Structure 1
Amino acid sequence: MYKLPNFYGVEAYREWQNSEFKCKDLSGSRESEFPSGSLEVKNFSELVKVVSFLTLMNKRHTLMFRGQGAKFEPVPRLFRADWCFLEKEDHKFALTEANREKYWSYLPEIGSQVFEICKQFGLPRWRGLKEIREIQWAVIQHYSLWPTPMIDLTTSLRVASAFAFGFSENEKKTNSRTFVQPVTGYLFVAAMPHPNGSITFDIDQHIALARLNSCCPPAATRPHLQDGFLVGRFPFQNTGDKDSSKKSSLGFRTVAILTLVDEGEFWTESHPKLSKDALLPMNDPLKNAFEEWFGDGGKYDLLLKAREL
């Protein structure tokens, strides 16, 4: 992905907040490097306020969000140390320099298999999923079938915040009072080209941006529930390029990192936290079909292939 030449981030927001003159010229607060610091946010209303400012100041881009439980560099799964099949911790596999190219080599065939499965659910517009590899990668990555060069984003602050905090139970009720263990998460704000159609290829910015809900069959509900997008470097050639990981980093497009802190007051009745089942429903026929097809003993057993790498 092409590095943003300059952007307005946390420093511009702080300068604006501390200024008595609210029409202040903030051009001197533009940044050009991956944000090293972050801004702490303790409630959803404050988060909306911060993002509203960033959206206005970075108006040439569409801002999208990624929630993470830890503050690691947001690179696609193919360039991390491990991955989990179907997001299951008991199906975790290591990714190394020695096997990364082999993982990459399986993607075309897995993409073809994904198309065949999706076709069974009814695919009124099928050419994109059949012919465009980045659309196939978007589906593969979203369902964690295999590591790809793409990384998840969303246009929803609530969705990104929910994933940042995670879905473990942190509340314990005693004597009718609720005691909450503070939870911290990280929200990455990324500047993307304005999306157009099911997938946007921006040659100048070296970006492929897939709108997930227009890539999957209508039977797939998760993309709609999550307002999901997948982004990756374009054109992506292979993992042999020593700079592949660096050039694929979402850090090149990050304008701000927000540290979200929930001490029991982050969410409100007007803006409640989204549950795990609301975003990752158990009753997901497409995911179930993927698990049957690609799981242990399936027609195209990806677990067996991963164990061999």
Structure 2
Amino acid sequence: MEKIGSQKIWSFFDSNPSSRPAANHTIRGGTGHEVKSYLDLARKVAELQFLNRDHVLLFRGQSKDHMTTKGNSMLKASIFRNDGNKVPSKATLEKRFQTLKQAEKLLVHAYGTAGLKGAERLRRNRLIRWSILQHYEICKTPLLDVTHSLRVAASFATAGNDGQVAFLYAFGVPNLSGAVTASSEAGLQIVRLSSACPPDAVRPHIQEGYLVGEYPEIPDYEQQSHYAFHEMDFGRRLVAKFRFNPQTFWASVKYPPATHEALYPSAQRDPLPEIAKSITETISKDIA
């Protein structure tokens, strides 16, 4: 993907309370701009969206800021993430892509068997298959989970986080259009998850989920080998990195976090969790 910043990017970074023009490597390499509360975060994100009007901001929350060897935030799709502390080997990547293709076939078959809406579109569109596999954590894919909801992203950053720090990342992407947005200029594809899943799947709607990936997409190891490893890092689209204390961030009763039950609604009619469980068990047996 292309690095953000051909136009001026405004950001909050270091301890300066004001937004300023910033280079991508400055944002990624910093410790993150500290915010005290959800309202503080929301105000600063609103300012960034106003100043960076050529981009739409999408968000991701994490309990840890994973770093490259150069000390920059590393935000990779799950299939390209490090194997321990090492860059994944050719054998590891080939195995991951093989598992992905197997999971795709199982998903298409399960959709057809269950008679779910959108089965034909699923068969035709690899990106939609990947989106479902990634969101329901079935296997590693070339996509990264993000959300349009600041509250949802911040809630994921703090959920089960007993430490003193959490991180919120704001990514700048092209203007969104329809279920799938593809930008050759940015080298990105963005999938609106609610349009990829059947209407009975409530979770993607609640989480306001999106998936981002490379454009053109990377379906196998051979295609992946044409890219430098640092190119496949969504840190290249980072507009801002915020850090906060998860123990005090939600102190105001006016701005509570989304609960686990809210983020993962137990809709009895939602067929995808059961399908996801079945596929995960099948590919786990084959890997073993």
Give the structure-2-normalised TM-score. 0.84
Match of 2:158 among 165, 181, 189: 165
Structure with the largest fraction of strand: 1
The answer to whether residue 227 in structure 2 is matched with residue 243 in structure 1 is yes
- Identity, % of aligned positions: 27
Cα shift at 1:116: 3.1
- In the other structure, the counterpart of 1:75 is 76
Task: Return the letter of the residue paired with 1:206.
Answer: G
Q: Residue by residue, what CA displacement relative to the aligned partner does 1:188-230 show, whole Å, maximum 9, x if unpaired?
A: 1100111111111111111111100110111211101110000
Question: Is the CA contact 2:139–2:280 (under 8 Å) kept in the aligned structure 1?
Answer: no
Q: Kindly report which structure 2 residues correspond to 1:16-165, keeping only aligned pairs within 5 A, or say none.
A: 16=18, 29-33=21-25, 35=27, 36-37=29-30, 38-72=32-66, 73-81=74-82, 96-120=89-113, 122-165=115-158
Question: Is the CA contact 2:15–2:34 (under 8 Å) kept in the aligned structure 1?
Answer: no
Task: Return the letter of the residue paired with 1:248.
Answer: M
Cα shift at 1:123: 3.9
- In the other structure, the counterpart of 1:289 is 275
Q: Kindly report which structure 2 residues correspond to 1:120-269, keeping only aligned pairs within 5 A, or say none.
A: 120=113, 122-167=115-160, 183-237=164-218, 238-240=220-222, 241=225, 243=227, 245-269=229-253
Cα shift at 1:119: 4.2
Task: Name which one, 1 or 2, has greater alpha-carbon Rg.
Answer: 1
Question: Is the CA contact 2:38–2:255 (under 8 Å) kept in the aligned structure 1?
Answer: yes
Question: Is the CA contact 2:166–2:245 (under 8 Å) kept in the aligned structure 1?
Answer: yes
Question: Is the CA contact 1:65–1:156 (under 8 Å) kept in the aligned structure 2?
Answer: yes
Question: Is the CA contact 2:131–2:193 (under 8 Å) kept in the aligned structure 1?
Answer: yes
Residues 1:204 and 1:292: Cα distance change in structure 2 (over 3 Å): same
C-alpha separation between the residues in 2 aligned to 1:260 and 1:100?
Answer: 34
Task: Return the letter of the residue paired with 2:80.
Answer: F
Task: Return the letter of the residue paired with 2:214.
Answer: R
- In the other structure, the counterpart of 2:9 is 7
Residues 1:122 and 1:265: Cα distance change in structure 2 (over 3 Å): same
Task: Return the letter of the residue paired with 2:189.
Answer: A
Residues 1:162 and 1:54: Cα distance change in structure 2 (over 3 Å): same
Cα shift at 1:11: 4.5
C-alpha separation between the residues in 2 aligned to 1:159 and 1:259?
Answer: 15
Q: Residue by residue, what CA displacement relative to the aligned partner does 1:77-125 show, whole Å, maximum 9, x if unpaired?
A: 1112359xxxxxxxxxx96442211221343342232133234555444
C-alpha separation between the residues in 1 aligned to 2:143 and 2:167?
Answer: 19
Cα shift at 1:163: 0.9
C-alpha separation between the residues in 2 aligned to 1:253 and 1:39?
Answer: 17
Question: Is the CA contact 2:15–2:33 (under 8 Å) kept in the aligned structure 1?
Answer: no
Cα shift at 1:165: 1.2
C-alpha separation between the residues in 2 aligned to 1:278 and 1:60?
Answer: 32
Structure 2 unmatched ranges of 5 or more: 67-73
Residues 1:8 and 1:136: Cα distance change in structure 2 (over 3 Å): same
Task: Return the letter of the residue paired with 1:140.
Answer: L
C-alpha separation between the residues in 2 aligned to 1:147 and 1:265?
Answer: 31
Task: Return the letter of the residue paired with 1:2.
Answer: E
2:103 match: secondary structure: helix
Deviates more, 1:190-199 or 1:236-245: 236-245
- In the other structure, the counterpart of 1:20 is none
C-alpha separation between the residues in 2 aligned to 1:244 and 1:197?
Answer: 30
C-alpha separation between the residues in 2 aligned to 1:206 and 1:159?
Answer: 26
C-alpha separation between the residues in 2 aligned to 1:42 and 1:118?
Answer: 45
Question: Is the CA contact 1:191–1:253 (under 8 Å) kept in the aligned structure 2?
Answer: yes
1:223 match: secondary structure: helix
Residues 1:13 and 1:189: Cα distance change in structure 2 (over 3 Å): farther
Structure 1 unmatched ranges of 5 or more: 18-25, 84-93, 171-181, 296-300
- In the other structure, the counterpart of 1:175 is none
1:65 match: secondary structure: strand
C-alpha separation between the residues in 2 aligned to 1:166 and 1:263?
Answer: 11
C-alpha separation between the residues in 2 aligned to 1:32 and 1:289?
Answer: 40
Cα shift at 1:262: 3.0
